A = this chain, B = another copy of it.
């Protein structure tokens, strides 16, 4: 399990849970490598029984198991960096990206125990268990929440660290409940109220915030 292989498996897993079709092209774009490189690697993964190559790529049971291990390490590390070292939540993804490949089972277990076996990372992403099944479902994006409802934030995508920082500064974090107000037209912002404060959120941002409607309001 080289770092490159781990990254490919993890990315295939995350793309598919995100509902995107997993093709060599999508992988190339996501991993920032050329498509011939992806082709070659996917061939190796298929030879190793980790990936099935149809018109869309899928993980075998073994491949998914490995992917989950990587995702688990990644999210445990993010949680640890925020809780134990008070690192800002917009920096931890990048760090974990490196460390996830260097974390031994022994240390992983120790971190897990020190954190009290957390179930979600700082962005609200579920941490796969050391063994067994895993539910990666996303709630609905804030973008589609109806005006006037109360919306409980469950996950905030960590893909854009700058956006994460921006949202964090405005109190938009998992566990927070916001009041959804109007949607300005023509690609304008969505207005929400966060602990009294009125905040305008660009469409790009409301697409990153997922959760569920708590109570239909006025």
**A residues in contact (CB < 8 Å) with B:** 81, 84-87, 91, 94-95, 98-99, 101-104, 106-107, 110-111, 114
Chain B residues in 8 Å Cβ range of A103: 98-99
Contacts A101-B102, A102-B101, A102-B102 given: A81-B107 contact, CB under 8 Å? yes
Chain B residues in 8 Å Cβ range of A102: 98-99, 101-102
Q: Which of A95, A101, A114 has the largest count of B CB atoms less than 10 A from its CB?
A: A95
- The chain B residue with its CB closest to the CB of A100 is B102
- As for how many copies of this chain the complex holds, the number is 2
CB of A74 to closest CB in B, whole Å: 12
Chain B residues in 8 Å Cβ range of A111: 85
Chain B residues in 8 Å Cβ range of A85: 107, 110-111, 114
Chain B residues in 8 Å Cβ range of A94: 104
Excluding A86-B110, A98-B102, 14 further A-B contacts by CB distance (< 8 Å) are A81-B107, A84-B114, A85-B107, A85-B111, A85-B114, A87-B107, A87-B110, A91-B106, A95-B104, A95-B106, A95-B107, A98-B104, A99-B103, A102-B102
CA distance A106 to B86 in the complex (A): 12
Shortest beta-carbon contacts, A-B, top 4 = A102-B102, A98-B102, A99-B102, A85-B110
CB of A3 to closest CB in B, whole Å: 9
A-B contact pairs, 12 of them (CB 8 A): A81-B107, A84-B84, A85-B107, A85-B114, A86-B110, A91-B106, A95-B106, A98-B102, A98-B103, A99-B102, A101-B102, A102-B102
CA distance A106 to B96 in the complex (A): 12
CA distance A101 to B86 in the complex (A): 22
Chain B residues in 8 Å Cβ range of A95: 104, 106-107
- The chain B residue with its CB closest to the CB of A99 is B102
CB of A96 to closest CB in B, whole Å: 10
CA distance A1 to B145 in the complex (A): 48
CB of A202 to closest CB in B, whole Å: 28
